[in-house]
Structures are given as C-alpha cells and as structure tokens.
Structure 1
Amino acid sequence: MPTGTRLVQVAAGKLFSLALAADGTAYAWGDNASGQLGNSTTASSQVPVAVSLPTGGRFVQVAAGQLHALALAADGSLYAWGGNASGQLGNGTTAPSTAPVPVSQGAARPAPASCRWPLAPRIRWPWPPMVASTPGATTPAASWATPPTPAAVRRWP
C-alpha cells in the first residue's frame, strides 16, 4: 500500500489479513490459495496488495472469514471473494472467486463489524502466578482470578 495510507479498519482471516483505507480501497496480504486477497490471482503476498474494486466502487467496511472476505460498498452493495465451498460468497454458486463479486441478496445496511472469535473475557488466568512452596510442589499462590479488563474492551455476553 502506498506510504502514508491512512487505515480505518483491519480484519484477520485464516492466514490472511485485510485493511481498509480512508479512501475506500481495501488491501489484503498473506495466503491466497482460495483467492481471498481479492486481487484476481491466487498468488500469495507478503505485502499488502489492493483488492480489485468494482468500477466506481468505494468500500466502507471489510470483514474476513476463514478463507473468504466481504466488503460493504458506499452505495450499500455487498461484495465477497475467496473460498466458496459452502456458498459463503452468496452469489448462488460454490465456485471460489479471486475478485469481489456482488452478494445476491441486494443492498445491505452498514452494521458494526464483528469477529468470529470474540475476545474471551471469561478466560481464567493464574494470578498471582503459581509458586512452589517446597521443591517439586506446584501449589497455587492464590486462587484463580480474572485479570482487570481494559476500559476499551467490550465484554461479550
């Protein structure tokens, strides 16, 4: 991506990543075996490459699945590309696409991005850390506790 590009959103799939620039251009990098970089090839890239934009298109939001990606255009159209074994591109086929294709359901409304694997605030961390009271023993120094959650992290139900 050009130096000085201002990014407004990022997303991560399985072995590939996406970034959305303020000008509406989407960039992708990483594995591309299923066309998930959206640049009309299946060549993987270790540096960001521009996703093929529909003519006159401008993306306002991106999301990444395991082997596919989605982008919402400024006009409300939804596009998908990459792996499609289960029809996840929404274009009525199960053929993969190396470039964005319109999702058949028509226009969509922007909604907050979500993550397939949300942050897990309920994971229990050993805090304070485990200590050995005698050589060879493994007794906890205290009971398990949940570490404090930063204010910027939203707790998921």
Structure 2
Amino acid sequence: MSDKTDATRASDVAFIKALAELLDSNDLTEIQVKREYGENDWLNVRVARGGVMVQAPMQMAAPQMLAPQVAPAPAAAAASAAAAPTGDPAQAPGAVTSPMVGTVYLQAEPGSKPFVAVGDQVAEGQTLLIVEAMKTMNQIPAPRAGTVKRILVEDGAPVEYGAPLMIIE
C-alpha cells in the first residue's frame, strides 16, 4: 500500500466524503462500494450511520493497522472510574472499542479455546478477539498490556463502530 500516491489518497478521501454526503442526502443507512485500481490494488469502502470503515487488502501486517484507537485516560478519571464501575463501559479507562462494524468472535474457530478470558494477563499486541467485517476476519490486538477485567460482548454478536468490547486494566 506504500506505493499509493498523495493524489490517489486525496482522491480516496474525496470519494469517501462524497459517499457520506450521498448517504446523508438520500437518508440511507449504509453504502458499500469497491473501487479497483488494478491487480491487488483496491479500496473497499462501507459508509454507515454511526461510523465509516475503510478496508485495504489484507496482509500479514494489517491487524496492527486495525488496532483500536483508545486515548489514555487522565489519572483522575482512572481513579474515579475504578471507584465507580457503573456507567458507560466505552468511557471506562482500559476500554477496548471496536474499530469497525461487524460480528465478534471470541475464539479462532467454533469449539476452540477463547483468545482471552476474564482475569487473563495480556501483552500489548496479543489478539483479544476477531471482528468479521465484509467476510474478512480482523484480529483485534490488545492496545496495552494488562489484565482482562470484563468481556462486554458475546461470541457471534454484532457490534457497531466504537462499541466497547472489553476492559483491560
């Protein structure tokens, strides 16, 4: 993907913005388009109310690129959240959120051992679960090392962009 030019990237951004405007102006809930540039070079875009997901061709390094973006919580917020665990789990310090719309799988295949369980120690980058989006299995890595405190989703459940998946402290 590093051979993409700035002009191609700018064109992709303009294309995604146009799709979002089309979604809004026609009161649609979702648009999905595949734009092919050549062999092994394409852009697959799905724009849905509540989030935008852009998917590039899967490569071995792709799971790291799909890592959830979780902002570090200030110390005061972390202390108050630890004292009061009620509230929105997505706002909890250590929350791992979904980077895309899809279906969650807690293990690699049906009947196998889950990637993690409550109480497990995880290393940064360790696979926590899989989110299937557009028939592509996306491994979701741990954004930091810690202990799995809560798993907030069930195996096979649909998730939205930004939905809390688990809490690691």
Query: Normalising by structure 2, what TM-score?
Result: 0.21
TM-score of the superposition, structure 1-length normalised?
0.22
- Structure 1 or 2, whichever has the larger Rg, is 1
Larger RCO, structures 1/2 (Cα 8 Å, 6+ apart): 2
**Which structure: greater helix fraction?**
2
* Structure richer in strand, relative to its length: 2
